[in-house]
Amino acid sequence: MATGQNPAEPILKLRGVSKQFGAVSALTEIDLDIHAGEVVALVGDNGAGKSTLVKVLAGVHQPTAGSIEFMGKPVDLDSPGKALEMGIATVFQDLALCENLDVVANLFLGHELNPWALDEVQMEVRAWTLLRELAARIPSVREPIASLSGGQRQTVAIARSLLLDPKIIMLDEPTAALGVAQTAEVLNLIERVRDRGHGVVLISHNMEDVRAVADRIVVLRLGRNNGIFTAETSNAELVAAITGATENAVSRRRARKEEVEHHA
C-alpha cells in the first residue's frame, strides 16, 4: 500500500533538531519526516544518535534546538505522557511486559477499560480482535507472558501500544534477540501495522530486516543526517553512508571485482 512517495503533509516533521548532553552533541540539526502508512528505518553506527532521537520523540529528552511539528502544528514533547497522548507510541527494547501476567492483562496494563469494574470479558474480546487483525500467532490470550517466545512477546508489546491508536509507533530493535522465523513474524507484523495507516519508525542494526520492510532508510552518522535511501540502495552505498567511509573493505572489494570484470 505505502509507496514511500507520499505527497501528503507528514504526521511528524523535525527541522534542525539538536540535543546536547553537556559538551556532547548527540544530535546536530536533524531533519526528519514521517508520513502515515510508511515505515522509516533509522540506521547508524553505535553512538550515531538513534536512541537519543527516539527519546526526543518519546518525550524522554527535550531537544536543545530545532522544531517539531505534529500534524502540522508546532509541539513541545516535554514528557513521555504528552508524546503518548499526542499519538507517538514507543516500544523500547526491554518491552516492559509483566512475566507473570497473561496476554490480556499485559495488553491493558495501565489502560484498563474500566478501572473501577474491570470488564474482563470486554478486554479479552478486544485483545482477541486486535491480535486477529494483526494476524498475530498467540496461542491463547490467557497465556502468561513467561511462556511466550521472543517474537510473541514483541507482538504483545506492539499490540499494546496500538490500543491507544497512535499515529506513529517507534520500534527500538524489535528483532534484535530473535531467530529467523520469529524475525519474519515481527517483520510481517510491522507491514500490517503500516497497512493500518500508522507511521512506523524502525530502529535496527540489521540491514536485511531494514531492506525487507522500510519504505525509506534514514542514515544518522555522528548525530547528523547522512542521507535518505531506499531498499534498492546498494549495500556498499548504505555502508558508506553509515560508516562515512568511501574507502572501506566493501568498496575496495567491489572496486577489485569491477577491475577484474573490466579486464576479463
Ligand X SMILES: Nc1ncnc2c1ncn2[C@@H]1O[C@H](COP(=O)(O)OP(=O)(O)OP(=O)(O)O)[C@@H](O)[C@H]1O
Using CA atoms, how far apart are residues 252 and 246, in angstroms rounded to an integer?
A: 9
Rg of the chain's alpha carbons, rounded to an integer? 20
Instruction: Pick from 49, 59, 87, 174 the residue near ligand X by CB under 6 A.
Output: 49
The residue written with cell numbers 548504505 in the block is: 238
The H or E element spanning position 126 is helix 120-133
CB of 136 to ligand X, least distance (A): 27
21 binds ligand X (CB under 6 A): yes
28 binds ligand X (CB under 6 A): no
52 binds ligand X (CB under 6 A): yes
The site that binds ligand X (CB under 6 A) totals a number of residues, namely 11
44 binds ligand X (CB under 6 A): yes
Q: Are 185 and 213 in contact (CB under 8 A)?
A: no
Instruction: Pick from 4, 47, 80, 144 the residue near ligand X by CB under 6 A.
Output: 47
CB of 60 to ligand X, least distance (A): 10
CB of 3 to ligand X, least distance (A): 28
216 binds ligand X (CB under 6 A): no
Q: Are 125 and 142 in contact (CB under 8 A)?
A: no
CB of 209 to ligand X, least distance (A): 15
Q: In what order do the strands lie in the sheet with 168-172?
A: 88-91, 168-172, 199-203, 39-43, 216-221, 224-229
50 binds ligand X (CB under 6 A): yes
